[in-house]
Amino acid sequence: MNPEMQKIRLLFLASLYLGFIFFHSCHRGQVPFTFVQMCDPQLGMGGYGHDTASLSQVVRQVNELDADFVLICGDLVHHPSDSSFNDFRDITAGFDMPVYLVAGNHDVGNSPSDSSLRYFRENLGEDYYDFTYGGWAFVICNTQLWKNSLGEESVEHDRWFRQVLIRYSGRSKPMVVVGHHPLFVRDPSEEEAYFNLPSEKRKEILDLFVEHGIKAYLSGHKHETLLNNYMGIQLVTGESTSRNFDDRPLGFRIWEVTRDSLRNHFVPLEIHPE
């Protein structure tokens, strides 16, 4: 091969390589993508061996689905301890994709304290944060700080929440908010009870959702399936993997995301652990 032809060949190969790099850098983490919504693995709620087997089965099934990431909507364990948190970490380390955790009332207490929050953060990481994927923003909240105020911790959480909504809406990123408690069970104006949020705080949050164009709110806690809609916002409380109160099978939800839409469907556990 003469020098001129060799030069042309090298330029062609270089252009192919650069094109390959450009394509993957542009499309990595872009829509469409899928993620999993898991709720209340709550190791110890349905029997400790049962719950660890259920969680292990979820890991196997989700890895086969090749989802992009997993959201676990709180109540990771029934009683927080070194051993239960260790077991939870060991099992979820088997996921082949990133896992994002939500703090539930069983994880930080029905009335959270500085020490219970510190224990969660030392063992499992931040209890509220945000991340982006595929042009979408995901905002992970600690709803216990809405359910039962903890002084400056709740104030700081609210300050962060408002700031992050402003930031992403200013960048025109569609947002999904994820927490543990449903905002409401049946009706936005229902009275406060164990499974929902205080009326005043609920209205404040729903108003912020509408103002900033939130697309969906994902939660757990109820151990029942709730598929609500508020002014076009999907409010989805999924099935647990420990014990359901509505006779639904154990399982999780898979969400399919495009540039403009969110769709989800339920996936039951293939094997019901005994």
For residue 254, give the CATH number of its domain.
3.60.21.10
What residue numbers bound the domain in which 135 lies?
32-268
Any domain includes 179: yes
pLDDT of amino acid 260: 78
Any domain includes 6: no
Q: What are the pLDDT digits (tens) for 16-60? A: 444 444 444 344 456 799 999 999 999 999 999 999 999 999 999
How many domains, in total, are found in the chain?
A: 1
pLDDT of amino acid 112: 96
pLDDT of amino acid 7: 58
- Strands 129-133 and 136-140 come out as antiparallel
The strand pairing partners of 43, in sequence order, are: 77
pLDDT of amino acid 18: 45
Q: Give the closest residue to 88 by CA, choosing from 72, 77, 102.
A: 77
pLDDT of amino acid 161: 98
pLDDT of amino acid 116: 98
> Are 71 and 139 spatial neighbours (Cβ–Cβ below 8 Å)?
no
Torsional class of 47: left (φ above 0), alpha (ψ -120 to 50), beta (otherwise): left
Any domain includes 41: yes
Any domain includes 138: yes
SS3 of the chain: the string is: CCHHHHHHHHHHHHHHHHHHHHHHHHHCCCCCEEEEEEECCCECCCCHHHHHHHHHHHHHHHHHHCCCEEEECCCCECCCCHHHHHHHHHHHCCCCCCEEECCCHHHHCCCCCHHHHHHHHHHHCCCCEEEEECCEEEEECCCHHHHCCCHHHHHHHHHHHHHHHHHHHHCCCCEEEECCCCCCCCCCCCCCCCCCCCHHHHHHHHHHHHHCCEEEEEECCCCCCEEEEECCEEEEECCECCCCCCCCCCEEEEEEECCCCEEEEEEECCCCCC
pLDDT of amino acid 13: 46
**Angle formed by the axes of helices 114-124 and 82-92, nearest 10°:** 40
Any domain includes 25: no
Please tell me the distance from the alpha carbon of residue 47 to that of residue 45, in angstroms, as a whole number. 6
pLDDT of amino acid 9: 52
pLDDT of amino acid 24: 40
Any domain includes 226: yes
Any domain includes 124: yes
Please tell me the distance from the alpha carbon of residue 222 to that of residue 181, in angstroms, as a whole number. 8
Q: Give the closest residue to 266 by CA, choosing from 77, 258, 99, 244.
A: 244
Any domain includes 200: yes
pLDDT of amino acid 144: 98
Residue numbers of the chain with a pLDDT score lower than 70 = 1-30, 272-274
Tokens 């014990």 locate to 243
